[in-house]
Amino acid sequence: MFQILRNAWKIPDLRKKILFTFFMIVIFRLGSYVPVPFVAKEALQQMIQSAGDNSLLNFFDTFSGGAFGNATLFAMSITPYVNASIIMQLLTIAIPALERLQKEGEEGRKKLAQWSRYLTVVLGFVQALGLYFTLASNQVNAITAPGFVSGMTVVLSFTAGTAFLMWIGEQINEKGIGNGISLLIFAGIVSRGPSMIMAIIAGNMNVFAVIGLLILALLVIAAVVTMNTSERRIPVQYAKRVVGRKMYGGQSTHIPIKLLSAGVIPIIFAMSIMQFPGTLAGFFGKTSGSGGWLGTVLGWLSPSSAFYSVAYFLLILFFTYFYTAVQFNPIEIANNMKKNGGFIPGLRPGKPTSDFITRVLSRITIAGAIFLGVIAVLPITMASSSFAGISIGGTSVLIAVGVALDTVKQMESQMLMRHYKGFLE
């Protein structure tokens, strides 16, 4: 492994990209310590702690690498850009004009990327505005000098931080290695490692509990790696055809269907829906202990309740199927295969092919959805066990492993072009 890293460092282009990516990540981490004026971080940290380890606020704090809890420039992290990208992707499927624009090639994709940037700024401003009103409420009282000037300063600072992170991510895509946005999320998650170790030390856990925790963490990582790299390959055969004096086709290939094709997006959607009522009620000072029907509902939606875990799991199943259906169109794949003379052995082109792909996709999706549900519910179970206070976020592990594998694959492809052995060999 060290020999491979040494060989990678000897490649000038790859070394330049690695150094540039590292420099951008350092800027990201430095910006996570630049405080936003007029915000008391102690009040914000108290709000995150009262919300719980499995709350949406703690999820934002994990993604930002602690910048959200410290009320710094990058407090909102890259979340608005992720939301804008998901919205644009769904609109591309729903609106034919955007779908045609996407198929126009590089120019069309540039226009969609530009609109995603505009939407990111708008969503960032709205989210920053909501965050300011939350901090300025009587329940939190985290704004040291309430007023129009201080409010605009806080809102514009948070929005500018998100816009700057979007620019850093695009620069990594262009001049660095790996996916820039994913690497920023990865850096934020990994940066929480030392605080987690300190929590274990402060918890005075016995040796057997620590060993059990490490074994469980290794099992989760191994399961995530296995499921993230698993795929179902449907064999495809192309018939031979003569065009002029040349013969085309005759080769065999396959259609890869990843087990986790939806990634962590179903978890993000499900968590946002489950946490939204409680977060909205918190703006008005309402909690599960407020009494009445609202307090009862908020009690059901508390992460410590059994109803929350069941509903959370079912929502992940639903969104996994939904997002997979948006991304994967069996009818379109079958039609493209038919136009190019391709067929699945033993099946007729057209409807029989699309029906077969649909059945395979349904079976693959249910397995991936159940795994995502288990990974998401695992921290809730951990919080109620003897490991209370130690959060092993399966979602965080899933993101970190996926980003690491994708980055390593990109390094491997560049090394193989220069006749070096790859990382994954």
Q: How far apart are CA 125 and CA 121, in angstroms?
A: 6
What's the confidence (pLDDT) of residue 108? 84
What's the confidence (pLDDT) of residue 5? 64
Can you state the percent helix, strand and coil of the chain, rounding each to 5? Answer: 70, 5, 25
76 — phi, psi (to 5°)?
Answer: -85, -5
Domains and CATH numbers, the chain: 1-191 (1.10.3370.10), 202-392 (1.10.3370.10)
Q: How far is CA 337 from CA 231, 239, 258, 341, in A?
A: 20, 11, 19, 6
What's the confidence (pLDDT) of residue 65? 79
The SS3 call for residue 294 is helix
Answer for the pair 414, 6: CB distance below 8 angstroms, yes or no. Answer: no
Q: How far apart are CA 425 and CA 423, in angstroms?
A: 6
What's the confidence (pLDDT) of residue 393? 60
The SS3 call for residue 67 is coil
All residue ranges of the chain with pLDDT < 50 are 1, 386-392, 421
What's the confidence (pLDDT) of residue 171? 93
What's the confidence (pLDDT) of residue 339? 83
What's the confidence (pLDDT) of residue 172? 92
Place of tokens 């009818």: 331
Q: How far is CA 26 from CA 20, 21, 66, 317, 351, in A?
A: 10, 9, 15, 37, 52
What's the confidence (pLDDT) of residue 115? 93
Q: Which residues are 247's β-sheet partners?
A: 242
Which residues have CB under 8 Å from 157's CB, separation 6+?
36, 37, 73, 128
CA Rg, the chain, in Å?
24
Q: How far apart are CA 172 and CA 28, in angstroms?
A: 12
What's the confidence (pLDDT) of residue 387? 47
Type of residue numbered 64: S
Which residues have CB under 8 Å from 205's CB, separation 6+?
213
Nearest in space to 228 (alpha carbons), one of 181, 182, 185, 264 = 264
Nearest in space to 162 (alpha carbons), one of 192, 133, 121 = 121
CB-based burial, 164-191: b 16+ in 10 Å, e otherwise: ebbebbebbeeebbbbbbbbbbbbbbeb
Residue 66: CB atoms within 10 A of its CB come to 20
Tokens encoding 312: 């959370």
